[in-house]
Structure 1
Amino acid sequence: MQGDQGQWEIDNDLAGALYAADPASFLAHGFSVALLGAVYLTRPGAGALAVLYVAFHGIANCLAIALWAWRRYKPLAFSARRWIDLHAMRNLALHSAPGLSIWLAFQNDSTDLATAHTVLLVALAALAYVANGLSLANLSGAVPTLLLPATVLHLLQPRHNGFALGVVLAVFIVGIYLFSAQYRGLFRGIVKARVAQERLAETVARQNVVIEEASLAKTRFFAAASHDLRQPLHAIGLLAHVLTDRTTSAQERDETAEHIINNIESLNHLFNQVLDLARIESGVTQVISQHFRMSELLMRIERQFRPAAAAKGLALRVAPTTCIAYTDPVLLERVLMNLVSNAVRYTERGSIWVGVRHNADPARCRIEVRDSGIGIAPHEHELIFEDFYQVPLGPQSRQIGHGLGLSTVRRLSRLLGGEPSLRSDTGRGTTVCIPLTTGDERLITSSITAPLSMSAFIEHRRILCVDDDPANLEALGALLARWGCVVRVCRDELAAVRAISEGFMPDVLLCDYQIDRRQTGIEALRAVREALRRRGHTQLVSVMMTGDVASPELAALAAEGVPVLHKPVTATRLRRTLDSLLQPHGENAAA
């Protein structure tokens, strides 16, 4: 495509150059017509052949002027390549009459007349070279037509050194072709350089537009986030003053406290959504896939949202399924939570249906969340996946939510290897489909709804914990001990290496990323690995925990396959991560 575009640019410039040089050619050929007519038509015994040559030359010049005028006033009548071809045909007609008219000079006994006529043809050929040298077809229609007849006659009918003149004409023709080849190469190079520069300018302009759009999107993001964060904070501040009023009744205080709790939950929900987006964008969110029963995950969703749906008079139906999925159940649960939460929020009557549908491909299936809510107009189907975009609900409706749910759904779905699809129209409800990879029931290692203590992969494992916060270390050590682990806690890298030198060979390293101002968990991880390597112990499962979401080092660590868990880390998430990494089929890969 780029080659076609480049040739189009060359043809366009070439056509412009050919027709731009025509006015000088018209004057030269007009002078040639007058001169040949004055010389040959006034001579005694001028024959019909002389009249024919002069008349044809004049008519060809007029036709050339007409073609030039047509191009000038109707440039889009033909393509650039067609205009070039027409110009080449015009050259052949325009230059054939003066070229063949040399025969008239050789019919006379005057050697000077033949020489003078040849000089005229050379002058016209030189002008033709300047005007048509950029096009081989146009050059071939002009220079050989002018000079080949004179060259042949001088070589075959030499008179007074005419043979030498014929040789000179032949060399002149060859020289013109050689120089025109260089001329055309230079021209093509100039046009290609210009086209490349224009493309570069277009690329830079597009990049500038992208940068400006990103900047505007960032500004809108922070403006919307600031607004949505300030709203509950503002309400909490006002409600807190109500609590300080001793004249309020106990019932009013209870209601105020409930409003404060609701606003805090809203604020916490928004923070979690923003942090989810930041984690995904930073590239540190990892997919820890496992085989599990979809019925168990759907059961968790149903238990969580059935009360909210029932409170609005909605029927929440979860279709039974025997599907086995292979994906990250934690990330998929966050996707479904956002979808079902939206369905409950924007459905006033009717029902919500959640279930699995199978495709023709047995390796793929999809989970659908369908509601009978307000629906989404077709022109908004793409917009709703943008950050902070919310469907307008009308002047009588209060805008609820933060516009981050579906943008999180799309990012998480892509992270899981699929693209969400949407079917919806105004007043007809909405259906969102999330593609999934099917799993193998024989590879299910644990139930995602089972109590944590049922999985034995972590029991009796030696775990080395590195964190500079004593409270975190104490809580983490106590939790791991209750899970049956042998735990050693350390405040820094040196203590961890010392523990290894004292004979504690860990199976797992749990390390905080920001240990202190001088050291990161990555340095501690490298030191621990090196200490173990020197003692011949290479099997180590490493997990990094952090509150940071934007560090490039964390993204690089995640790319290496080291799980990065973002605080606050729940006991469930930690246990499932460790169980997944310590499974017999995945232990070596996680080391």
Structure 2
Amino acid sequence: MRGDPIQRAIDEDLVRVLYAQDPIAFFSHWFSIAVLVAIYWPNIPSPPLFIACFGFYAAANIGSLALWICNRRYPQLVSPRGWIVLHAVRGMLLYAAPGIAVWFAFQSPQSDLPILHTVMLVTLAAGVFMSNGFDLLNFSTSLPFLLLPSIVMHVGAHTFDRTILALVLAFFFCAINVYALSYRKLFRQVVQARVDQQYLAESLAAQKRVAEDASFAKTRFFAAASHDLRQPLHAIGLLAASLNDPAATPVQQAKTSEHIVYNVEALNQLFNQVLELARLESGVTQVIRLHFRLSELFERVGSQYRPQAAAKGLALRIAPTAMIVYDDPVLLERVLSNLLSNAVRYTEQGAIWLGYRRAGRASGGYVEVRDSGVGIPAEEHERIFEEFYQVANPQRDARAGHGLGLPTVKRLVELLGGELELRSAPGRGSVFRFPVQAGDAGALVASLNETVVGGPSAQGRRVLCIDDEASILEGLRSLLGRWGCMVRGVRDEAGALAAIESGFVPDAVLCDYQLAHHRTGAQALIAVRNALADVGHEGLVTLLITGDMASAELAALALQGIPVLHKPVTPARLRRTLEMLWQQAELDKGRTTATIALRETDG
């Protein structure tokens, strides 16, 4: 993944180093031209070829200077790799001239000229190693043109001393290539270390920015939460004190009591919203997917918000649909409740529309909530999903909400595997939509509305409750008893096993997570399941209830599909969860029975 950035960094460093040597090389080559011309001047062999060769050498040197100037003035003209290739072409042309010019030494009657020319070539080769050795392309296009012609000419002389000199040159050629290879490896390591250090520094800087942003967000979150929590608490304190006023009339006391109840409800709502966000952030909120009619969920949510919409003169329209979806109806209800609540709050006239659209999806479609409200400016589309942020409520008037609804919606939709989309503009209303999966009519659960009106699902069910808090057990006995359940409450795992041994075979087990004697609800449920399996009872519905917000064990249980509810649990939430689990267990049992019957028939 990081190979390309490292290679680009190496190329950029190569360009800087290669072109940094060129001004010195320019004068070095002019010196080489002057020395070689002075050596050959007394007796120039083949003057036309000599003039052409050294004229080309001079032109190549001038071209090298022009390329250096172009690189300095227009560094972005080509890519780093392009500059390296151009420099390699420059080296090939520049070093070919003195390399091939050794031919003139062997044509001269002076016997010492080949040695003198070779010494000059070795000097230039040393310069090639120093300036181009860290780049394979530049080194391999310069050194061979410089030394190989001389080696060939010395071998072709067929004399002992020239052959020895050719062998020495060949050894020098091989050795300098080996050293250049080590040079290149060292250069790459140095650049890679620098890139790694730079990458680490950038990573640390990014992490620091994230930490600072998180710290700022946390500070802002607690500041806003503190403000919104203190407001109703302050009001409750003042109102409670006024109840003790002996001069207050019964009417005034009744009105004060109503205000206290209102503020307690507002405080409870805010507290539940904060807890909901915390559960979503901790990753312990479970998704329990069922096949159900979307129209029933629409009707359930619509019935909650029609009175509020009507009170403001708004029309709440729900588009009819026969769609069956496969999703978590409880979490979807929270999403729609928050969206409809916002739509009613920020719409003063017109209508609100709730419906389902396929929108080109092959399987499933989108649930949409539209309103004709004030709309949201484009620059605020990201910020409205921040906790406690509200576009039109800088004074933090609690009557306009707390700014937790949309952050909750966004996280819930993401938990369900979708993405919340927003289209909105000031004065043109807003459209929120998110995807849902298509369901299977053959796996349809009973009507969702049965859990609201008190259908027969809970009637006659045997429920075993395990909790070490006597008050919670009493509350569960009372609540489940009103639903028609037969309830047995015990304080620990041993009590649960004793109840089963006495003949109480439950249809559901509700268990607190933290029990006495350092036992957990998960351990208790396993023991209960094993005990019921021994007496041949299958299809038990289990439900863990906990006040813990973040726990590795709870996250693991959620991944295993073990239902977990987090306190505080409303009676409606508990009722819906139990009945859905019972319905799902009956469907699973029916499918298992059908499969066994089919196998027996086939057999």
TM-score after normalising by structure 2: 0.88
Mapped to 1, the partners of 2:390 and 2:396 lie a distance apart of 15
Q: Which residue of 2 aligns with 1:276?
A: 276
- The reply on whether 1:522 has 2:508 as its aligned counterpart is no
Mapped to 1, the partners of 2:107 and 2:94 lie a distance apart of 23
Residue pair 1:40, 1:46 contacting (<8 A) in 2 also:
no
Residue 395 (structure 1) shift? 8.6
Q: Which runs of 5+ in 1 are unaligned?
A: none
Deviations 1:192-213 (A, max 9, x none): 4433443343333323322222
Residue 139 (structure 1) shift? 2.1
Alignment of 1:144-155 (within 5 A): 144-155=144-155
Structure 2 SS opposite 1:86? helix
Mapped to 1, the partners of 2:393 and 2:174 lie a distance apart of 80
Q: Which residue of 2 aligns with 1:578?
A: 578
Residue 396 (structure 1) shift? 13
Mapped to 2, the partners of 1:268 and 1:219 lie a distance apart of 22
Alignment of 1:247-262 (within 5 A): 247-262=247-262
Mapped to 1, the partners of 2:68 and 2:61 lie a distance apart of 11
Mapped to 1, the partners of 2:73 and 2:315 lie a distance apart of 72
Q: Which residue of 2 aligns with 1:111?
A: 111
Segment drifting more, 355-364 vs 146-155: 355-364
Q: Which residue of 1 aligns with 2:601?
A: none
Residue 274 (structure 1) shift? 0.8
When residues 11 and 466 of structure 1 are mapped into structure 2, their CA distance, relative to the original with a 3 A threshold, is same
Alignment of 1:58-73 (within 5 A): 58-73=58-73
Residue pair 2:89, 2:141 contacting (<8 A) in 1 also:
yes
Q: Which residue of 2 aligns with 1:305?
A: 305
Mapped to 1, the partners of 2:394 and 2:569 lie a distance apart of 40
Segment drifting more, 149-158 vs 46-55: 46-55
- The reply on whether 1:376 has 2:376 as its aligned counterpart is yes
Mapped to 1, the partners of 2:401 and 2:501 lie a distance apart of 54
Alignment of 1:54-453 (within 5 A): 54-159=54-159, 161-361=161-361, 363-392=363-392, 400-450=400-450
Mapped to 2, the partners of 1:350 and 1:25 lie a distance apart of 81
When residues 57 and 302 of structure 1 are mapped into structure 2, their CA distance, relative to the original with a 3 A threshold, is closer
Residue pair 1:387, 1:403 contacting (<8 A) in 2 also:
yes
Mapped to 1, the partners of 2:187 and 2:591 lie a distance apart of 60
Segment drifting more, 9-18 vs 391-400: 391-400
Q: Which residue of 1 aligns with 2:600?
A: none
In the alignment of these two chains, the number of paired residues is 590
Q: Which runs of 5+ in 2 are unaligned?
A: 593-603
Residue pair 1:15, 1:83 contacting (<8 A) in 2 also:
yes
Mapped to 1, the partners of 2:141 and 2:403 lie a distance apart of 69
Residue pair 2:368, 2:433 contacting (<8 A) in 1 also:
yes
Residue pair 1:41, 1:51 contacting (<8 A) in 2 also:
no
Deviations 1:514-573 (A, max 9, x none): 224834323323443455566676654321012222233222221111111223333433
Q: In structure 1, give the amino acid aligned to 2:586.
A: P
Q: In structure 1, give the amino acid aligned to 2:524.
A: A
Mapped to 1, the partners of 2:465 and 2:361 lie a distance apart of 45
Deviations 1:217-263 (A, max 9, x none): 22211111111111121222223333333334444444333333322
Q: In structure 2, give the amino acid aligned to 1:302.
A: G
Mapped to 2, the partners of 1:392 and 1:486 lie a distance apart of 51
Structure 2 SS opposite 1:515? coil
Residue pair 1:6, 1:192 contacting (<8 A) in 2 also:
yes
Q: Which residue of 1 aligns with 2:599?
A: none
Residue pair 2:358, 2:365 contacting (<8 A) in 1 also:
yes
Mapped to 1, the partners of 2:206 and 2:396 lie a distance apart of 41
Structure 2 SS opposite 1:418? coil
Structure 2 SS opposite 1:586? helix
Mapped to 2, the partners of 1:515 and 1:195 lie a distance apart of 54
When residues 290 and 157 of structure 1 are mapped into structure 2, their CA distance, relative to the original with a 3 A threshold, is closer
Structure 1 SS opposite 2:587? coil
When residues 187 and 510 of structure 1 are mapped into structure 2, their CA distance, relative to the original with a 3 A threshold, is same
Segment drifting more, 70-79 vs 525-534: 525-534
Segment drifting more, 472-481 vs 265-274: 472-481
When residues 384 and 560 of structure 1 are mapped into structure 2, their CA distance, relative to the original with a 3 A threshold, is same
Alignment of 1:485-504 (within 5 A): 485-502=485-502, 504=504
Q: In structure 2, give the amino acid aligned to 1:366.
A: Y
Residue pair 2:284, 2:549 contacting (<8 A) in 1 also:
yes
- Identity of paired residues, percent? 52
Deviations 1:122-141 (A, max 9, x none): 12112212221223332233
Mapped to 2, the partners of 1:317 and 1:49 lie a distance apart of 96
When residues 499 and 146 of structure 1 are mapped into structure 2, their CA distance, relative to the original with a 3 A threshold, is same
Residue 425 (structure 1) shift? 1.0
Structure 2 SS opposite 1:428? coil
Structure 2 SS opposite 1:349? coil
Mapped to 2, the partners of 1:466 and 1:396 lie a distance apart of 42
Structure 2 SS opposite 1:419? coil
Deviations 1:332-366 (A, max 9, x none): 22222211211221122222232333444474133
Segment drifting more, 218-227 vs 51-60: 51-60
Residue 401 (structure 1) shift? 0.9
Residue 512 (structure 1) shift? 0.9
Q: Which residue of 2 aligns with 1:468?
A: 468
Mapped to 2, the partners of 1:453 and 1:68 lie a distance apart of 86
When residues 485 and 244 of structure 1 are mapped into structure 2, their CA distance, relative to the original with a 3 A threshold, is closer
Q: In structure 2, give the amino acid aligned to 1:260.
A: I
Residue 303 (structure 1) shift? 2.9
**Please, what is the CA RMSD of the aligned residues?**
3.2
Mapped to 2, the partners of 1:139 and 1:440 lie a distance apart of 69
Residue pair 2:88, 2:137 contacting (<8 A) in 1 also:
yes
